[in-house]
Amino acid sequence: MFADAFRRRRAIIPADSYTQRATSGDDEGRRFTISRVDGNPMAWAGLWESYVWPDGRIERTFCVITIGASEQLAPYHDRMPVVLEPDDWPLWLGEVPGDPAVLLRAPTPGVLRLAPVGTARRGGGRVRHV
């Protein structure tokens, strides 16, 4: 279903953070905010599509590519978005030769921060670096 988009219509989706509800473990049901430790926006791997309706309108859509959760996030949820590093962008966007599938991996440990919702900006509570 997404093979052609993966070959020809890859995108980078910027995101400051996202909220994830824990679906397993001792924190099940608790919500966490996930962001980069360095404070920069995340760059998620995505695909885009364009559809032309019979009346000529063009509708563009996109999706975020997810993978199995990293070792650090796995205690809370089983999936996560693919987070691309700036050095990955040219390969992901097809600007340099190579196989973009090699980028479908968890980020390096220490890149992301996991904080319980309500404590991420106030400094209270536990912050988990993932």
Instruction: Provide the residue range defining the domain that includes 94.
Output: 3-129
Tell me the mean pLDDT in the region 44-65. 96
Mind listing the pLDDT tens digit for each residue in 75-112? 899 999 999 999 999 999 999 999 999 999 999 999 99
CATH code assigned at 69: 3.90.1680.10
Kindly report each contact of residues 24-28 with a partner whose C-beta sits within 8 Å and lies 24 or more positions away, as own/partner. Answer: 24/75, 24/76, 24/77, 24/78, 25/75, 25/76, 27/75, 27/76
pLDDT at 124: 42
Residue 63 has what pLDDT?
96
Number of domains forming the structure of the chain: 1
In total, the chain counts a number of residues equal to 130
pLDDT of residue 122: 43
In this predicted structure, the answer to whether residue 125 has a pLDDT above a threshold of 60 is no
